Each structure stands twice: as C-alpha cells, then as structure tokens.
Amino acid sequence: MLNVKLAVIYYSSTGTNYKLAQMAAKGGKASGAEVKILKTAETAPESAIDSNPAWKDHLEQTASVPTVALEDLEWADAIIFSVPTRYGSVPAQMKQFLDTTGGLWSKGKLANKVVSAMSSASNPHGGQEQTILSLYATMYHWGAIIAAPGYTDESVFGAGGNPYGTSVTVDQEGNMKEDVEEAVMYQAKRTVQIARCIKGGIRH
C-alpha cells in the first residue's frame, strides 16, 4: 500500500477549526497516512486578539503547533484545509499564505495534489459552502484534484449534508451544534484514498 503524506492546514481564531483539523488528522492516520497538523500564521493586530479572551487563549494554547511553510505543500500528497468563514470568503490569514504559493505553482509543484476543505460559522447559512468553494477556486488554478465528500456516505447527511466539505455551526460559547466527527473522518479517509490512487497512477 502506497504511503500517503497528508497535511491538515487550518486557521482558527477560537478553536473550532483546530478541533476539525484534529478530527481530520485522526481520520487520515486511521487510513494509513503520514499526517502533519499545521496552522497558518496569525496576522491580526494584537489589539483585536486582546479584545477577545477566547481568541487570545486559543493562540496561547496552540503556540506549539507548527506554522505551515511552502515546503509542507511540496511534501504533501494530500491536503485538507479547515477555515472559518469570513463574509463567505477565506480568512485573510489563510489567503495570505495561499498568495505566497506562486513559485511552487509556476514550477508545477502543486499539480495533482489531492485537496479537500472544511469550514465553520455561527449560523447554518453563514457562508460555509461559499467559503469552501472560494478556497477551491485557488486549487483549480493549482491543477489540484478536489476530493469533495459529495453524498457518498451516510455520515455526510448526519453532519448537515454539505457535499463540498464538512461544515459546522458554532454557538456563542464555541460549542459545535452538529456532531461532525464521523463526517470529518470520512472526508479524510476519502481524501487519502483518492491521493493513494493518484500517487499510484501518475508518474512524473
């Protein structure tokens, strides 16, 4: 069985997408992948972070999580992104990192990477689907292979039925309203399986 290297890359201000990333890593490992959990750099001003105790606490609690670098993208066969929605788009912290990938893209280093994405918001129609699709737009430019869960497993329906990628609603206390762990683990499994097929079938 071919070894698949999975990078789970997230941005999280108060912890939701870190939790989703941990679920995805668990699913990836259960599928036999070598997994890295990586965060994007925090670029918000200290004044904004200090104004939200939960944001500041989460930043301190995840200080030991490695910050993603371009080398991690080159290393990975598969990538799962997890981000909160920002007005239906990708957070600036993730967008800033993606905007640095031009050098790898121009050399074809991102082609045929298998990618999937997850998102969160504070209400059921807060832009989760649009955020995932916005992130996928960058992946199309990469020439990546999108591994959306679609409606290929019952766990997708149990988590709210988002075919583009698992999404979750979070209350004001930071609690997830839906039970999405099974869906996230399935999405990771599907991503790894597709990456294994691509890796075994494409010769560079």
Q: pLDDT, tens digit, for every residue of 82-139?
A: 999 999 999 999 999 999 999 999 999 999 999 999 999 998 888 999 999 999 999 9
Distance CA 180, CA 184 (A): 6
Extract the runs of DSSP E, i.e. beta strands, from 11-161.
Answer: 34-39, 78-84, 114-121, 145-146
Domains of the chain: 5-201 (3.40.50.360)
Cα-trace Rg, the chain = 16
Residue 203 pLDDT greater than 70, yes or no:
no
Per DSSP, helices labelled H in 78-127 are: 92-98, 102-106
Q: Which amino acid is located at 189 in the chain?
A: K
What token pair was written down for 182? Answer: 């099974």
What token pair was written down for 31? Answer: 């599928």
pLDDT digits over 55-69, tens only?
999 999 999 999 999
